[in-house]
Amino acid sequence: MLHYIYPVLIFSTFLVGVFHSQKIKGKPIFLLMYFLLFSGLVEVSGPLIIKFLEIKSFFVYNTYYLVCILFYNYLFKAYLTSNSTKKTLNVLSIGYIVFVILNHLFRQDYYHSFQSYNIIYFGFFVIIAVVSYFIESLNSDNVLSAKKSLLFWVSLGLLLFQVGIIPIFIFGEFFNFSGIFDYILLTLNFILYGCMITGFIVSERAYN
């Protein structure tokens, strides 16, 4: 039942974004709108594939995270000024693709299992990108107006989400989180998309 909440949450965020789209139209972060739409479709299609095609949908979510890392690589590079940081994100993105292949060959099958190791890799990538963005923001003249930027709120949501989810995937092999995992994941998703909704509402075009 909880799984039905995710597409509602994502599409609600998308609709808030549509209402405030003039703030980001023509800006690199406008691509977030398409990404939200894509994310919502993934959440809808996963259960439908299982129900109607009677096949596992692991490949859908594994592919989703591949798109995720490419999207966030583009998004943060569009706003970062440090060339060395941009190169680092590029290397990590390419490394992710290599990691996915190796993980498929030796550990977690791409089509028949959820590649949790990839999620951990992606999480650390996001943390590096977000922290780099925050550091640049703190060292810039716009630090006092950072909260007027949609990317600030997206970054905050991503950071809180990953800090909460990474330990579960790392220690999941040693501890049983099955009873509370769904509720933790749901809470983290509310935090993530709540931050995005806040960003759409309070951000100003000049800072996007």
Residue 97 CB contacts under 8 Å (≥ 6 apart), including other chains: 66
Residue 2: is its pLDDT beyond 70? no
- In one-letter notation, the amino acid at residue 173 is E
pTM for the predicted model, two decimal places: 0.93
The domain containing residue 109 runs over which residues?
Answer: 2-207
Q: Cα–Cα distance between 18 and 164 in angstroms, integer?
A: 28
- In one-letter notation, the amino acid at residue 186 is L
- In one-letter notation, the amino acid at residue 122 is F
196: closest CA among 206, 208, 184, 185? 208
pLDDT in the model for residue 174: 64
Residue 178: is its pLDDT beyond 90? no
Maximum average pLDDT range among 19-28, 45-54, 137-146: 19-28
Sign, CA torsion 89/92/93/94 = positive
Condensed to tens digits (0 to 9), the pLDDT of residues 29-48 reads 999 999 999 999 999 998 88
120: closest CA among 86, 168, 72? 168
- Structural domains of the chain, count: 1
pLDDT in the model for residue 146: 85
Condensed to tens digits (0 to 9), the pLDDT of residues 66-116 reads 999 999 999 999 999 999 999 999 999 999 999 999 999 999 999 999 899
Burial of 167 (0-12, 13-18, 19+ CB in 10 A): middle
Condensed to tens digits (0 to 9), the pLDDT of residues 136-177 reads 998 887 777 889 999 999 999 999 999 999 998 888 766 666
Helices in the chain by DSSP H: which ranges?
5-19, 31-48, 58-79, 83-106, 116-138, 150-171, 181-202
Banded model confidence at residue 50, pLDDT cuts 50, 70, 90: confident
pLDDT in the model for residue 43: 92
